[in-house]
Structures are given as structure tokens and as C-alpha cells.
Amino acid sequence: MSSNLFPKTIGSTDKNEQMFIDIIAGARPNFVKIAALVHAYREHPEELPVSYRIVHTGQHYDKRMSGDFFEQLGIPEPDVNLEVGSGTQAEQTARIMTRYEALVMESAPAATLVVGDVTSSMACAIVAQKQCIPVAHVEAGIRSGDWTMPEEINRLVTDAITNWYFTTSEEANAELRRTGVAEDRIFFVGNTMIDTLLRNRSRFQRPAILDRLPVDSPYLLLTLHRPSNVDEGDRLREILTEIAGHTGGTPIIFPVHPRTRGKLESNGIELKFPFVVAEPMPYLEFGYLVERAQGVITDSGGITEEATVLGIPCMTLRSSTERPETVTLGTNELIGADPRAIGQPLNRIITGQWKTGSIPPLWDGRTGMRIVSKLQELVLVQGKSRTEVPFFTTNKN
């Protein structure tokens, strides 16, 4: 475990005495989300007496998770890397918990903030509560209803032991109320991922893969990584065949997730035109592709949010989504689990007959500051004492 135990200093010269919050990240999408919090700290240091420490669990080891990645997002490298590495769900959870426990026993934060729905968020939330450290969950309350998704289990467990819930939508607020969370623990703040998107939109970088297409050629953008879509060779082959057969010759740029690449190779699936295959893209290059795509085909929830804000048609190859606002308000549509359902909506994208979406409330680029300001208030007023934090108070109404 590599670490610098002391947090980033905001307005203080004594690191040992300054209160701080642990900000947990376990995978690349987490860092995109926490970037909004880091920038809020940087831009308003005089207003934020409680500092922060970035803890990277190392849940997803990625050679592209380098200094260049953090530089693109404009954030410092993590203070601590728990270096848990790969493994089964249980193995990763155990290593994250034991290593984070050792960290907080040596240097305890005033609160632990977790984001999203990765295993790291669940595991660190459990450790924090057992050490009487209050937990804040960013993107609380989102649900797909699909318990076959590991992420859904992580969401349920994390929200069951969270103190302060920071939400992206009214749908998430309603879900938390339905499960009995008291109103004064729910904070509707917006979407940190959109903060990062809007901050960096003017900095998007043209990727070299576009040189492989005719000049000014329209293209589709495809991402696939969900086990339900890629783990079975026959299903993966059928999905790709249906997509290729309904593009009318439009190129399909396909940055292949490592998990998906392994399944393609093990099942002997060779991708030819209209697929234009690439390695996973750096953040600024991928954003460039989304913003200029004719349409996006994906099974990722986060990309549906970005496509909605950028006004790009998006079809999701799933039967449910934890981000329903991208469907009810945005540019996203759920296609379902049957690959034979791909053709008709894909044709609507190609022919320009897709719906026009709108941007959900508070997805305005100011979410990070809302979260940091409220969390500062909560920590300063209530401290980190279990007796002062509403651990089990529920809404009786």
C-alpha cells in the first residue's frame, strides 16, 4: 500500500490538526466523478475549512491510470493507493476492507465519502461505519431493479448504511423516501459526472482513430462490457451481427473494454468493417467521440448521462437502467435484452428520426460545490461522533 497519510491542505499549515474527509475512488469512472469535488475545493479554499484525502483502492488496475489521466482531469494523484488489484468480488471486498481499516485506524477522517456503485464504495462504507465514521454517498438512491448486476448489490448495501445521501435526480430522492430515509438526510445536488463533462468540453481532443475514417464521415460509437451482453459468446456474436447489419455502412467506432476483448478472443469473434476497433480511450478523446457521434450504442449507465447532456441519440442494450431520467427526459432509450430488437431503433438513429431530449434538473456543472459545501456544514456541525450522527433515524411518515 502506497500512501501519503495527510490530506490536501486547504487554508491550514498544520496537517496533523486539520479535519479532513476521505474521498474514495476505485475505478476510472469514480475519478471522473470526484474531479468535481476536487475542483470545488480548489476554487473556494477560503470557504472550506475541512480538507480532503483521496484514497484510491486500486480495485481496477489500468495501465492508463497514470499521471496523464489525472492531468487530463486536472486533479492530483491519490494520496493513498490501497493497491488491492484484481480478484473475485469477495477477494476484492476483503482486501479493500482490511487495507482501508488499517488506514483509518492510523489516521481517521471526519467522514468518508464514496461515489457510485463499485465494490470499493460498499467496502469502504462498511469499514467507516464500523469505525464510527459517518458516510456520505454521492449518487445515492439510484436503482436498476436488477439484482444480477453486482453494482445493484453495492448500491443497496451502501445506501443501507449511509448517513448523508447526495442524489442526482428526483427519482433517486423518491426511492430513498420509499425505503424510509428521513428527508433531512437527502440532498438533491445534481450530477458530478456532468460537472466534469462541462468543465472539459472545450478541451476535448480529436483521437487518431478518426484518421481511419473518410473525412467528415458520420459514425456510430459503441461500448459493451456488461456480463449479460459479453460473457456468452453466442449472444455477443448475435449483438454485433445485428448492429453491423443495420448501420447502412456507417462506421462503428468500438473502443473495446478489456473484459470484452477477452471474450471476443476466447470465442473467436473477429471484427471487420463497419467496426473500427480501438483501445479504451482517454477521457478527453472519448468525450470528443461522443459529442460528434451520429449516435451511441452502449450498455453503460454513465455514457447515457453524457449523451443526454450533449444531445446525442443513445440506445442502451439493457432492459432496465439505474438512470431513468436519461430516458424520461434525455436522449436515451432502453432497447431490451433481445438482439433482434436492435434494428428498428438503430435505423431511426441513422435516418435522423430520434427523439429530442432535455437536460435533467441541476445537471448544470455546479454539483461539486453543492456537495462540498453541504458536507463541510455537516461535518463541522455534527462532527464524527456516532451519537451526533443520525445513523438509524428513518422517516416515519
Where in the sequence numbering do the catalytic residues fall? 225
b/e per residue 115-151 (b: at least 16 CB within 10 A): bbbbbbbbbbbbbbbebebbbbbbbbbbbbeeeebeb
The helix, strand and coil proportions of the chain, stated in percent and rounded to the nearest 5, come to: 45, 15, 40
Cα dihedral sign for 172, 178, 181, 182?
positive
Alpha carbon distance 33, 270 (integer Å): 34
Beta-bridge partner residues of 188: 167
Is the preceding omega at residue 274 within 30 degrees of 0, hence cis? yes
Q: Which amino acid is at 223?
A: T
Alpha carbon distance 295, 313 (integer Å): 5
Consecutive H or E run containing 81: strand 80-81
Closest by CA to 290, choosing from 242, 220, 360, is 220
Strands 2-3 and 80-81: antiparallel
Consecutive H or E run containing 253: strand 252-255
All residues at 6 or more sequence positions from 392 whose CB lies less than 8 Å from its CB, including other chains: none
How far is CA 262 from its chain centroid?
23
Span between the terminal Cα atoms of the chain, in Å: 46
